[in-house]
Amino acid sequence: MFIAPFAVLFALVFIIPIGFAAYLSLFQDKLIGGQVFVGLSNYIQLFGDAKFWNGVIRVMVFTAIQVPVMLIVAMSLAMALDSKRLHGTKFMRISVFLPYAVPAIVSTLMWGFMMGTKYGLIGNLNEAVGTSIDPFRPDTTMISIGIMITWAFTGYNMLIFYSALKAVPHELYEAAAIDGATEFQVVKMIKLPALRGSLVVTIIFSIIGTFQMFNEPQILSSMVSNSGITTYYTPNLYAYNLAFTGSQQGYAAALALVMAAITIAIAYVVQIRGMKDALE
Amino acid sequence: MNTLKTPDAPRSERTSKRDRVADAAAAKPRQLYTVANPKKNATLTFVTGLFTVYCLLPLVWLLINATKSQADFISSFGLSFGSQFSLWQNIVDVFTFQDGIFSRWLLNTLLYVGVGATVSTALAALGGYALAKLRFTGKKVFLLIVLGSISVPGIALAIPQFLLFANLGLTNTPWAILIPSFINPFGLYLMWVFSAQAVPTGLLEAAKIDGAGEFRTFAQIALPMLTPAAITVLLFSFVSIWNNYFLPLIMLKDPNWYPLTIGIDQWNKMGSSAGNGILIQNLVLTASLLTIIPLIIAFLSLQRYWQSGLALGAVKG
């Protein structure tokens, strides 16, 4: 069987752990008595956990701003690069994509140093002009993380859009030109509809990605002091700290499952909406 | 079918474009710009160029700062070179610091990436091909579950994966990194879409009539046609395993099994734990540079393959 090796490993890596998480989420680690069956009490506790909701709201606000900005920029770039009206198209295309190949640890390090006031360019700027900008104050840290994440993933999304545009038959553009269509009309009537399918995919992947935000705040929290990054800054960070420093594995498993449910629900809504739009 | 380019297509395309322009210029000198070759636009180039600067700036910064000594890194302006060119010294130091553990991390990463990406691509190719071309029961359910799993967040898996692997005695061994990397649902999806479109079913039937078995038909007929998709999947698994931070962070405690990402993180923490650590930011930056160079080379040298693979995936996407 061709599919057997994939299926067996898939079960080991995906299905069994999810079942195990569901099982674990019904237990609590107690100082006395070890693991105790507590039914749904982890979920009830989570529902009233201000730290959890604090993180959920933070990533939701972040997603609502960062994802549209990134995808609009990525789409505009893809159209610009596809228009053949740029000098150095090939160079620009690969340059915009390159950050995707950079590990989160390296990207956070670079941006952390560059935006830092101690050794970085912002520090140099503050010295030169006499300002006191600090990108890692508690109220601006999230914006700085947004700059890093946008940097890392715009090129990847651009490339998906760009590939979709490449699949548009060239005759369409010629026909449009003969009909006297303006550039704006070509974008609206041909290019945007061609991007619809890939837009649904990129929205879903971007939402999944930002909901799982972990690397950047985790790395920054040890790099920058007073950045306002708490142990429950994002739900992912909270789950990690619960499981590995607080050893509340049952509670962490419940949290992870609730986040998975929220993410899947949102991805599902996006997909249904995207399909409905495509049918109309 | 311009998505199915032969490997040397970009170059020949460029020549033919030049020829076309030249022909047009010779025949009708005034109609130089066509739909296929419009006039270049300076404003658009400038705006896109600004974004390119945003993308390249951190990489240029890294390149410059990897050439500085620790003293220069602290004292000199971020985008200028230091008082001495220390890149070679830094590279030597990276490889000798802590008894040369960086080489060990590099070898670990190569092991995780080499084995992980190869196996995950092979499994995705087999599975995707089977889903697209073979008939078997439970196919729809299987596909639905696998595609659904793409939207399961990594964290929902990582904690139970860790506990499961701990029970199996696999944490703190390379298997804890390798086994999860073998499964790439998005790769399977890409292989499925690609097999459905690029491999003609008639050809497979002909091979079977000629007496080739299922596996031989796959290996000799289908596999060569799946090459662009396979390279795409291979490259993207390569990157995700090479860049993986979360999984090794929770699975590994023994520095001897660290990949580069966790190793660099450790060095960086050493430097930034105020007062009680030695500052080795120059080594952290040089190590970072050494970590991204292989990926950039892989992307640049294979781009004509993976771009055509992505393009075919995008048609259905």
Decide if A180 touches B, using CB distance below 8 A: no
Q: What residues of chain A lie within 8 A of the CB of B214, using their CB?
A: 2
Q: Are A86 and B43 in contact (CB under 8 A)?
A: no
Query: Which of B44, B134, B265 is opposite residue A86, by nearest beta carbon?
Result: B44
Contacts of A166 in chain B (CB under 8 A): 2-3, 311, 314
pLDDT of A279 reads 54
Q: How far is A139 from chain B (nearest CA, A)?
A: 22
The 10s digit of each residue's pLDDT in B277-305 is 567 888 899 999 999 998 888 888 887 77
Residue A137: which pLDDT band, with cuts at 50, 70 and 90? confident
User: Could you tell me which of A186, A183, A92, A96 has the C-alpha nearest to residue B46?
Assistant: A92
**pLDDT tens string B70-85:** 888 877 777 778 888 8
The predicted structure's pLDDT at residue B281: 83
Q: Which chain A residue lies closest to B79 (C-alpha atoms)? A: A121
Task: Name the residue facing A21 among B156, B310, B316 (closest C-beta).
Answer: B156
Kindly report the average pLDDT of chain B as a whole number. Answer: 81
Indicate the DSSP class of residue A98: G
Per-residue pLDDT averaged across B38-45, rounded? 83
Residue of B nearest to A23 (CA): B160
- Asked if A265 and A259 touch (Cβ cutoff 8 Å), the reply is no
Contact, A239 vs A255, CB < 8 A? Answer: yes
Shortest alpha-carbon distance between residue A20 and chain B (Å):
6
Asked whether the beta carbons of residue B299 and residue A98 sit closer than 8 angstroms, the reply is: yes
Q: pLDDT tens digits, residue range A162-181?
A: 988 888 888 888 888 888 88
Encode pLDDT of B7-31 as tens digits: 444 444 444 555 555 554 455 445 4
Q: Quick one: closest CA in A to B288, which residue?
A: A106
Q: Is the minimum CB–CB distance between A262 and chain B shorter than 8 Å?
A: no
Which residue in B39, B51, B261 is closest to A77 by CB distance? B51
**Which residue, B70, B112, B59, is CA-closest to B94?**
B70
| DSSP secondary structure string for all residues of A105-169 | HHHHHHHHHHH-SSSSHHHHHHHHH-----TTSTTTHHHHHHHHHHHHHHHHHHHHHHHHHHTS-
User: At B9, phi and psi to the nearest 5?
Assistant: -60, -45
What's the token pair of residue B94?
């990276």
- Using the beta-carbon criterion (under 8 Å), do A97 and B299 form an inter-chain contact? yes
Q: How far is B248 from chain A (nearest CA, A)?
A: 12
Return the percentage of chain B with pLDDT > 90, whole number: 26
Query: B57 to chain A: which residues are within 8 Å by CB?
Result: 114
Cβ of A87 within 8 Å of Cβ of B45? The answer is yes
Q: How far apart are CA B160 and CA B183, in angstroms?
A: 16
A and B: number of Cβ contacts within 8 A: 275
Beta carbons of B281 and A264 less than 8 Å apart: no
- Measured between CA atoms, the residue of chain A closest to residue B151 is A264
